[in-house]
Structures are given as C-alpha cells and as structure tokens.
Structure 1
C-alpha cells in the first residue's frame, strides 16, 4: 500500500507537465533533424548543382532551337499588314461617306438657293470639315503614340 501511495505522490500535474514538455522537445528535435538531413540529401554538394544547372541550360537551348522563329516573324508581319490595311480601308470609307453626304446635301441645296439657306449651308460645311480634320488629327495622334 505504501508503494501505491508513493506512486500517487510522484505523479502530480507538475511532473506530468514536465514529462509532456520533455516529450514535445524530443519530438521537435527529431523533426528538425529529419528536415535538415532531407534538405542536405537533396543537394549534397555543388557538383550536383552544377550538373542540374547544365541540364537546365541544355533543356533551354533545345527548347529555343525548336521554336519556329521564321514562322513567328512572318505571322507578326502579316498581322501588321492586316492592321495597316484595315486602317486605310476605314479611312477611305469615312472619306467616301463624308464626300457622298456632302454631295447629296449640295444637290439638295441647289433646289433651295435662297441667301439664308446658302449661308447656313456654308456654315454647316465649315463645321463638318473642321470635325473631319479634328477626327483625322486624333487618329494620327493615337497611331503615332
């Protein structure tokens, strides 16, 4: 009975806490040792690093050699040509529609040839031309930048 009573006195909360902390410390040490030994096994020396770097460089060289550089260059040229053609077509279309609109209005104005309508027509023409010039200047400014 005395041994049971002595065992109860030895196992207290303080002793149990110390025992658990000691166990945690030992576990942490084993984990750190495993972590550091695994990282040293991955890269044991500079020799393996240089071998890996050489393999990476060879891979990059092979990958660059396999790229169809001429095809890529030609595709870019074609894209630029299409873009330039579409700009000229749009520019011509706007000029044609503006010219058609002006000629249509001029033909209509000839039927009403009194002084007030001619003056209004001239003002309208000036405003229309100014707007067209401003649009053209904006287009040129955006295409240069």
Structure 2
C-alpha cells in the first residue's frame, strides 16, 4: 500500500467511501461520479497501477467481485446490460488500478465510439495478430 495513493486509501478504508463489498484482496465502492446509478469501482487493496501488474489471486478476486456486482446490479436496477472497463496509462485518473462495473440502459448517453471500418488499424489485422503473438508467447 502507498500512503500517498488515494486508491490505496479508499481500498483500505482510510478515506470515507460507499463500500458495497470487500474481501482480503479488493474493495468495491460506489463511484463518486457515476455514469449511472450503481456504478461500482473494484480496487485492489495492494498498490497496483496497471493491469499487467496484478497477481493471479488478486485478478481472481477482481473478476469474481465483478460477477457478484453484476448480479447485484441486475437484481437492483434491472438494466438493459452491464458494462465493465478499465483505463490504463495516462487514462487512469486515479493512479491505482480500478475496474468500473456499471449498469447500462438504452439511451443513457454513454457510448463506445467505434472506428471507421476502413481505418488503418483494421487494414493491418493480420500483421497486428502476428506482432501480438510474438510478444505474448
């Protein structure tokens, strides 16, 4: 845990938060700027910044909690769906790994902007596949 990290403070109960679930590895709390009612952040108690830093045990706890939260959101809010997302690098505004899990409703205004089918990345799928296979394996 990093005492200077707000994410660590939130996950370890040092800062007031609306906690909905926690266990030995993670804390799940309501986002203070929710996309929709019930927007939850799942945060490791250990200081982790990027997804590739997460150990297997913590990752299992994150994904298990995501399933539990999803079931709870469906029971409470009867949404049209559930979205999960994680932002890394310069897009991680907290400086601590967190997974967003939130209910979605048609017309809620949240959207994923899909790239034009003719974009350059779409034209390089085979090349990109090989590049990733060589790095992952």
Q: Do both proteins adopt the same fold according to a TM-score greater than 0.5, normalized to the shorter chain? A: no
User: Which structure: greater helix fraction?
Assistant: 1
User: Which structure: greater strand fraction?
Assistant: 2
Question: RCO greater where, 1 or 2, for CA within 8 Å and sep 6 or more?
Answer: 2
Instruction: Please give the TM-score of this superposition, normalised by the length of structure 1.
Output: 0.23
Instruction: Please give the TM-score of this superposition, normalised by the length of structure 2.
Output: 0.24
